[in-house]
Each structure stands twice: as C-alpha cells, then as structure tokens.
Amino acid sequence: MQVLIISHYFWPEQFRINDLARELKMRGHNVSVLTGMPNYPTGKLFEGYGWWKKRHDELDGVPIFRVPMFMRRQGRGWQLALNYFSFVFWGCLLGPWYFRKHHFDVIFVYEPSPFTVGIPAILMRSLKKAPILFWVQDLWPESLEAAGAVRSTAVLAMVGAMVRWIYRSCDRVLVQSHGFVEPAVKAGASRERIAYFPNWAEAIYHPVELPADAPEYEELPLGFNVMFAGNLGEAQSLETIVEAANQLRDIPDIHWVIIGDGRRVSWLRSEIHTLGLGANAHFLGRRPLESMPRYFAAADALLVTLKADPVFALTIPSKVQSYLACARPIIGALDGEGADVIQRAGAGLVVGAADAVGLAKAVLSLHAMSAEDRNIMGKRGRDYFENEFSPQLLINKLEGWMHDTAQAGICES
C-alpha cells in the first residue's frame, strides 16, 4: 500500500509513530511522512535543522517531508497555539506541493496532541481521494480543559466544533483506550468506524540485567528507589508525589528519583527545597530514550501518577506500556483505564489518583516485599505486555484495518 503518515511530531523526536513508520516500511509498504521541524520536548530546533533547512529527510528508507513552524519554546499557551497552527498553515500549503505526484491508498494521522494535525490530513484526503485513519491519543477539548490549558468557554466551544468536523471527516478512528470510545462518539465520530488500538512500547523497552558495577547504580542513592520517568506537567499530579514523599521523609531508605522535564519541573524543585526533602527526592534530569530500560532496571519500583479528573481516568498513560515491557513492578496513583491495566496485569500496586496517603502506603508495602516477590510482579507485567501490547500483534491489526479501509474508500461524512 501507499501510505501517507501525517504527524505533528516525528524522528528525531521520540514518539511511537517512528516505530510504526519503520515497521510498515519493513513489511513492504511505501510510506511517506509529512511532519514539522523537530523541537520537542525542549522547544528548541534540533541541531542541523532550520525553517527552510533540511526540509527533506529520511528514516530507514522512509522519506520525510518537513514544513516550517513556530517552535514550542517555553510551552506557554500562546507559544503552543502558534506552534500548532503554524503546522496547520504550512502543512496545508506545502503538503499538496510535496505530494503533487504521489498516489496514496490511505492517510494515517497520529494525534498525541494537538488535534489540529487532522486539518492538513482532511485537505490531503480531499485532494488524493484517500481515506483517513485517525489515531487518537489525547481527547480534545476535554484534556485542554482538564489540564487548565484553556479556560475560556468560547475557545473550548470553537475547539469542540473543530474536533467534530475532524471526526466526521475520518474514515476510521482508532482510540488508545476503551474509555475514549464514548467521548469520541459524543464528539462526532461514527461508532461503527471506531476501533480500540492501544499503544505499545518502543522496541528498546525490554528487561535488562545490569551488572553490579553498572554506572546507573552510581547515579542512584543507596536504598529503595521509586522512579518516575517522563513529562512533568499539570496532568501528572506532582503534588501527590510531593505529599507522599513528605509523609515518608523519616524513612531514609526510601528515595524518589525523577527522570524527565516539563512545564512544572521548576515548581517541583521548589517544593522539594521548601519542604527540605532534598535527601529524599533526586532529580536526574532528561536522559536519552535508549538509556531508559537500564535506569528502570536499576530502580526498585516505577511510578505513574495522574491528576484526579474524569478525562484522565479515560486514558492509559503511555509510560504504563513502557514500564510493563521492562518487567519492573509498578506503583500507580491514578484512576480508570490505566489503573485497570496495572491491576489486570498483576504488575504492581494501585491507589486512586491524587491519593498521597495511599501512595505512601503502597510504597511502604512494596518496600517491605522481598526483591524476589517484586521481580515476580515485574515478570507478570511483561507477560501481560506481550499478550496485550505486543507491537507485532497490534501492527498486524492495523495493517488489516488499513487494507479494509483502502478497499472501502472514502466514507460519506
């Protein structure tokens, strides 16, 4: 098949869509990518790229066509809005030119946020008469409101109208969580065109056996290490981590290790300093994606938290799959779909979102377990991952949907 992938983010930015493009290419499909200039998560343009520089790129034989766009910079609301809409503008302007001689059987849209990535796709759908498969990672406008990114009811209403138009223009909607189905239907997606398509973990995520002298151990404090890895933003309920750490401050053997960055990292550092938790909480900063399985292997437990909000209860945080894949025990403070996955897998302990008391008790419980029992938890998580979130299994399904959608052609809106 001739496949066009449209994604706001792409390699060298680290997203699962990179693996998908590679795998489809390896399976014999002709894959092209329309994306922007790489600047996530730092907000700064990656070295070697420029507004009009390196517009054509390649990843393992997959041609990449890039459009200029406003950088995320510090991630403030107006900066993100310019980042999102500059991709829409240039994608609609340059996309038809880049692919003027191309034929496509399907258009695949990756939407971890923003939803606006669907606008250039709809234009290409019209021009190329190719159906759209839209992979929803983030619900709009619900997540914008829940995270506090947008508070204006007028703006939220306009976003909602745009989302309805995009959903109705899609030939198949793929959702990363069962909880997304009803909101997608309510927002305008046709129920019979929706399919559950969860995230997997990148191939680099797998169990690692570290030698006793591994350098990762030298970066971690001696004791029981609870590791949080990923974005440090509003959705992650960082207050819950701080409160739990404060409750356990008198147990010097328990440490909280933070890997990552985000809009609230300064707030988190400030709170840790104000409460005098410097001996309990440790910031390692950002680390290369490929190094993460080694850090996970060095930790005693991996932590995932989400804000207490009905919208976030519908999602499965993508780090859950990464944690499961690495066969490490998980501690979760979250509701809904993500909590259900951890519990069904038997991969760890779960408490409610924003339950700092419960989180502290869960850490104590895991701390009291033997290393052998914790390893059994991690092994159960890996087994569940292979049965439910295997990349090969999921991409096989996607390949079938792509073929069926291409055969059916464009649906009536």
Cβ burial of 410 (10 Å; 0-12, 13-18, 19+) is middle
pLDDT greater than 90 at residue 396: yes
pLDDT at 413: 61
pLDDT tens-digit readout, 175-219: 999 999 999 999 989 999 999 999 999 888 999 999 999 999 999
**Residues 141, 161: Cα–Cα separation, whole Å:** 9
Say if CB 345 and CB 380 are below 8 A apart: yes
> Average pLDDT for residues 342-362, to the nearest whole number?
98
pLDDT tens-digit readout, 223-262: 999 999 999 988 899 999 999 999 999 999 999 999 998 8
Domain with CATH 3.40.50.2000 in the chain: 2-200+390-408, 215-388
Length of the chain: 413
Q: In what order do the strands lie in the sheet with 281-285?
A: 281-285, 254-259, 224-229, 301-305, 330-333, 348-351
Fold of 2-200+390-408: Rossmann fold (3.40.50)
Give the bridge partners for 331, in sequence order: 303, 349
Give the residue carrying structure tokens 């092994």. Answer: 379
pTM of the predicted model, to two decimals?
0.87
What CATH number is given for 215-388 in this structure?
3.40.50.2000
Question: What pLDDT band is residue 147 in, cutting at 50, 70 and 90?
Answer: low
